[in-house]
Structures are given as C-alpha cells and as structure tokens.
Amino acid sequence: MRLTETEKRMLEGQFGEALAKSLQYIVQFGEAFDAEQLEDIRYCHYPAEMAIYEGSIEELQEFAAEQNVVAIPTTSSTLCADMQCPEKTGIPLALAQNQSKACIAHRKLGIQPTYTCTPQLNGAVPAFGTPIASVESSAIIFFNSLLGARANRGGLFTKFSAVTGKYPKMGYMLEENRAGQHQFQVEDFPVNPMENSLWWSALGFVVGSHVGSDVPVVCDLPVAPIERWITLGAAMATSGSVSLFHAVGHTPEAHTLDMAFQGKKPNSTRTIGKKELVSAIEQMTNLSSNEKIDFVCLGCPHYSLEQLRLAAAWLQGKKIDASVRFWICTSRMVRSMAQSSGYIKTIEESGTKVIADTCPVESHMRISTCQEYHLPIPQIQALVTDSFKMARYTKDLIGCKVGLTTTEKVFQSALEGRYLVW
C-alpha cells in the first residue's frame, strides 16, 4: 500500500503508540482487500459498544484509557437502554450501570453522545463525495445512496478510523463499484401518506432479498419525504446486505437510468407490484388478524421530529390498551426538540413511551441477555410494527410473534390491544 509521509510517521509511532496501533489495523485491513492507499475520512458514526455484548465495555474503556481521541466529528450508535431514564425500559440496574460506563468512555474519546441509528436526523449530513466511516447498516445505506457520501460497512474497524481519520480506499469509496447492477420497476405503489411507511419497508425488503449485497436501481418511485427513504434503505439492508442503492430521479448518482448504471447494462430487470409486497408482509407476519398483542413499536429506524408530531396528532386525547406497552423510538436530540414542542407530553398522556438511545431489538429484552440476567423469556409475546427491520429482528432475537401493518393500524392496534391487519 502507498502511504503518505504523514501516514508513515504515524505508523512509526511519531504521533504516539496508540495511533500507530490503530493505523496498523487499518493498513492490514486495507491490504487484505488490496487497497492501494488510504482515504482521509471526514466523519465517523461510531459503534456504541453495548453492554449486552460480553467484553464490549471493557474493550471500550481500554481503548479510551490508551489516550485515544477522535480525529474527526464522530457521532455514536445505539445503546441497550434509554440512558437518560433507564427505568423507562425496565432494564436490570446492573446492566444499566455497566452501559453508563460506555457513556463516560465516549466523552473521554470526544464522541458526540447521539446514540441513534439515524444520525442524519441530528445534523450528520456528509456532503456528496465525502469519504466517511460508519456502523449501522440503515445509516450507511442512507449516507451512500441519498447523500452520495462514500462509505462501506465499517464494523469493528470504525473505531480505528475515528481516531486516525483514515480508511482504506476500497469498496464503495471507488467510483466504479458504485454502478447499479439490477433494475427494479415499481408498479401500483400505494401513496397514502400515513400508510406509506409499511409499503416502503416492504419494497426495500423485497429488493434486498433479490440483490443480496449488489447495488439495486429502483425506477418509478414517487417524491417522498426523507423518512420514507430511511425506511426503504433500512429494509434493503435487512433482507440483503445492501449498502448502496439508486432511485432514478431521486438520488444524486441517478439523475437518469443510464447514469445509475454508469452506462452499463443491468444484470437483471424485474417488476415489483403490490402483489409481491403483500406476499412479503404475509410471510413476515405470524400473528392472526385480531390476535391479542402486548407490545407495539414505531420508530425503526429512529423517528424524526415530524414523525413524532404526527404521532402526537394521532394519539391526542386517546388511551392505549392497558395490556399493551407502546414504544416510539427516537434519538435523545429529537426527543428533546419534541419535548419543547409539547409532542412528548401529548404522546405520553396516551400511555405510550417515547424511548431514546435504544429500541426493543437493542435492549435487555434479547433472549441471550434475558438468560444472563435470569429474566423471563420471551419478554414480548406478540408485537405489532410497520417496520420489516423491527419485525425480522424481534422475531429472531426476542423470540416473539410479530404482525406488520400500516402506521395508522399500528396506532389503532395499540388502542385496541389486538393485531389489526393492514
């Protein structure tokens, strides 16, 4: 690998042992993938190091104790509890205490305590063409596809990028790897604004399951707010490991079909209609219509201020069923803005909880964590949501039944304590 003079000096330890060690990992990582040089990255979305993973907190503390400090603006991903009010999620005290050690280490490292899967809703919007390092598949796909930033699935190496400001020039950092590979025509796509989230999630899930880790190009999508694109990308990254997609006429590298494919021919072309989307919803759902439920969740990925405003408008003056726990998940910054606007009070008066920093999937409710803390399993019997990502992971990691439905019916299900089909 060709290194700059500064990189060579960093590797020799002239800027300290800790930096030399981190850069060594980055160089080895790049060499394993034949990267020819390193990129200067401008932003990092950092793994939060959740206390539900064994050894994760200790490793983070060690990393901070080595005098590491981030070299670029760095936000943080989700935790396993709402650390501003841990009792709100029912997390065991010992686990919350352990998680709080991570927050101390983050401060020491200079990481912004955003604790969210939607840092783009908290001001992290790298410009077109900017190389970045990021964890969280739903954030990576958004940065790449909607903003045109350059990102790969960062994984464990993200922390070394945060402190060195370097990442191997490879994968989606390279222009030629960003060309579309498969074409999808969308027909009879439902456009009702309240129902929409489910359909965008279903479309993303279907597309992702067809392409695996390739780059899909989606045609004929309607104009939509940012929240729909976040939903679409999150679902693609769930069924496949898609990190980049193009939507012709919407995303910055796809002004035209030809531009999306960089002048090449698609490997495959497919039409997706309402029939495929309905079939995906039915396959993911294992609750029957009107079956009793005990958990409802919105905010996967974490909700925006506008989504909380709509939730407040929907829940105003209503009460959710006494047997249901209803979480709306968001980031602490968005919650704080919603607090000032009065939305949180309106939502919580209905019995719903607005949870920040985490979500059911990332919480103590995972089967593995319940086993460790001797908690009853499963923590949730039957959950209703409008997100394929939430549905897939709660089924697998919490062991509950799930029902997918439109956002409007999610609210209605919470009020009635039963699963209302879309």
CB of 360 to ligand F3S, least distance (A): 8
Number of residues that bind ligand F3S (CB under 6 A): 14
Segment contacting ligand F3S by CB under 6 A, of 28-36, 50-58, 250-258, 357-365: 357-365
Whose Cβ is closer to ligand F3S: residue 117's or residue 173's?
A: 117
State yes or no: residue 359 binds ligand F3S (CB under 6 A): yes
Site membership for ligand F3S, residue 329 (CB under 6 A): yes
Q: Is 361 in the site for ligand F3S (CB under 6 A)?
A: yes
**Polymer length in residues for the chain:** 422
Write the single-letter amino acid at 248. V
Choice from 56, 75, 76, 78 touching ligand F3S (CB under 6 A): 78
DSSP states of 213-281: TS-EEEESPPP--HHHHHHHHHHHHHHS-----EETTTSTT-SSHHHHTTTPPPSEEEEE-HHHHHHHH
Query: From CA 139, how far away is CA 153, in angstroms rounded?
Result: 10
Nearer to ligand F3S, 173 or 356 (CB): 356
362 touches ligand F3S (CB under 6 A):
yes
In this structure, how many other beta carbons lie within 10 angstroms of the beta carbon of residue 261? 21
- Residues 107, 113, 116, 120, CA torsion sign: negative
End-to-end CA distance of the chain: 54
Shortest distance in whole angstroms from residue 166 CB to ligand F3S = 27
Q: What is the C-alpha separation between 203 and 271, in angstroms, rounded?
A: 11
Burial 134-158 (b: 16+ CB within 10 A, else e): bbbbbbbbbbbbbbbbbbbbbeebb
Is residue 301 at the binding interface for ligand F3S, with CB under 6 A as the rule? yes
204 near ligand F3S, judged by CB under 6 A? no
C-beta of 165 vs 301, nearer to ligand F3S: 301
Residue 390 found at the interface with ligand F3S (CB under 6 A): yes
- The vertex-288 CA angle with 285 and 289, nearest 5°, equals 110
Q: In terms of CB distance, is 148 or 301 closer to ligand F3S?
A: 301
> Is position 389 an interface residue for ligand F3S (rule: CB under 6 A)?
yes
Which of 103, 163, 300, 315 binds ligand F3S (CB under 6 A)? It is 300
CB of 52 to ligand F3S, least distance (A): 13
Question: Could you tell me the sign of the dihedral formed by the alpha carbons of 34, 40, 42, 47, in that order?
Answer: positive
Task: Kindly state the smallest distance separating residue 96's Cβ from ligand F3S, in Å.
Answer: 18
**DSSP state, residue 35:** -
CA distance 169 to 29: 11
Residue 68 or 75 having the CB closest to ligand F3S: 75
Kindly indicate which of the ranges 68-76, 98-106, 257-265, 385-393 contains the residues binding ligand F3S, using the contact rule CB under 6 A. 385-393
Question: Residue 147 belongs to what H/E stretch?
Answer: none
The stretch among 89-97, 200-208, 313-321, 387-395 that binds ligand F3S (CB under 6 A) is: 387-395
Closest to ligand F3S by CB, 143 vs 393, is 393
For the CB of residue 240, give the shortest distance to ligand F3S in the complex, in Å.
15
Beta-bridge mates of residue 327: 297, 353
Q: Is 302 in the site for ligand F3S (CB under 6 A)?
A: yes
Site string for ligand F3S, 90-129 (x = CB under 6 A): ---------------------------x------------
Query: Using CB under 6 A, which of 234, 242, 254, 382 touches ligand F3S?
Result: 234
Beta strands 401-404 and 133-134 are unpaired
Least Å from the CB of residue 306 to ligand F3S: 17
Name beta bridge partners: 303: 330
CA distance to 28, 74, 166, per residue, from 71 (Å): 20, 8, 9
- Interface residues with ligand F3S (CB under 6 A) are 78, 117, 138, 234, 300-302, 329, 359, 361-362, 389-390, 393
